[in-house]
C-alpha cells in the first residue's frame, strides 16, 4: 500500500486542493466510466450529481436516489468518487444552503453511508477503484472484497482536521452482509 502525507490549505472544493487534485487525476485518467454522487462543481466524472441545484453536476437529487437510478439503468463503473459531507454539521450547512430541513437520519448518514455503499458495491466492476474522502478511513472494506491501494493524508494545519484520501480496489464481488434485518431502515 502506498502511503503519503502532504500539507495544503483547506477548501470546500476538495478536488481543488493541489495534492488531492493530483491524486484524483491519476485515477480519472485510468478510468472509462466514473460516478460522482457528491460532485459540487467538479465535472470530470461520467455521471455527476449534487443535491444543490446551483452546482454544475448534471443531476440534482439525493445521493441514494441517484445511485439507485444508475443501478436500475444497469450502469457499471470502473471508478466511484465518494466525497460526501464529512460531519452532521456539514450536512446541516448543505441543507440550510438550499432551504432543506435536516432530519435526524440525515445527520446519522455521515457515520457510515452504508446504504450508499451497498449500491456502490453493485455499481463498481471487479478491478474497479473506490475513492473515499473524509475524516475517517472507513471505505468499502475487506469484508466486501476491497483492498486499500493508496492513502494520502492531507494536513491543513492546526485547528483543522486532516483530509484522508483513500483508494481501494475491488478484488472480488463478495456478497455483502446485510447489516439490518429486512423491513428496518438504515441511518
Q: Which residues bind ligand SAM (CB under 6 A)?
A: 13-15, 37-38, 40-42, 49-52, 55, 62-63, 83-85, 91, 94
Nearer to ligand SAM, 160 or 173 (CB): 160
Nearer to ligand SAM, 27 or 145 (CB): 27
Nearer to ligand SAM, 12 or 182 (CB): 12
The DSSP secondary-structure symbol of 184 reads P
- 3-state secondary structure at position 160: coil
C-alpha cell at 44: 470530470
Least Cβ distance, residue 165 to ligand SAM (angstroms): 11
Nearer to ligand SAM, 83 or 168 (CB): 83
- 3-state secondary structure at position 15: helix
Least Cβ distance, residue 180 to ligand SAM (angstroms): 19
Contact call for residues 22 and 170 (beta carbons, < 8 A): no
For the chain, the C-alpha Rg in angstroms (whole number) is 16
Least Cβ distance, residue 72 to ligand SAM (angstroms): 17
Least Cβ distance, residue 151 to ligand SAM (angstroms): 18
Least Cβ distance, residue 126 to ligand SAM (angstroms): 25
List the beta bridge partners of residue 82: 132
Nearer to ligand SAM, 52 or 176 (CB): 52
Alpha helices (H) in the chain, listed in sequence order: 18-29, 63-72, 88-97, 104-109, 114-123
C-alpha cell at 147: 483492498
Amino acid at each position: 500500500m502506498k502511503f503519503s502525507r502532504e500539507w495544503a490549505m483547506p477548501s470546500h472544493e476538495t478536488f481543488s486542493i493541489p495534492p488531492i487534485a493530483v491524486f484524483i487525476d491519476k485515477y480519472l485518467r485510468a478510468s472509462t466510466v466514473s460516478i460522482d454522487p457528491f460532485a459540487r462543481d467538479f465535472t470530470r466524472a461520467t455521471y455527476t450529481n449534487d443535491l444543490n441545484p446551483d452546482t454544475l453536476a448534471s443531476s440534482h437529487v439525493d445521493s441514494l436516489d441517484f445511485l439507485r437510478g444508475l443501478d436500475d439503468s444497469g450502469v457499471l463503473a470502473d471508478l466511484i468518487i465518494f466525497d460526501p459531507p464529512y460531519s452532521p454539521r456539514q450536512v446541516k450547512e448543505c441543507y440550510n444552503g438550499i432551504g432543506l430541513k435536516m432530519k435526524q437520519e440525515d445527520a446519522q448518514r455521515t457515520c457510515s453511508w452504508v446504504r450508499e455503499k451497498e449500491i456502490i458495491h453493485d455499481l463498481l466492476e471487479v478491478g474497479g477503484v473506490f475513492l473515499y474522502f473524509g475524516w475517517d478511513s472507513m471505505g468499502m472494506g475487506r469484508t466486501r472484497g476491497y483492498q486499500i491501494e493508496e492513502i494520502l493524508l492531507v494536513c491543513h494545519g492546526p485547528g483543522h482536521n486532516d483530509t484522508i484520501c483513500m483508494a481501494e480496489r475491488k478484488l472480488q464481488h463478495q456478497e455483502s452482509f446485510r447489516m439490518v434485518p429486512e423491513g428496518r431502515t438504515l441511518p
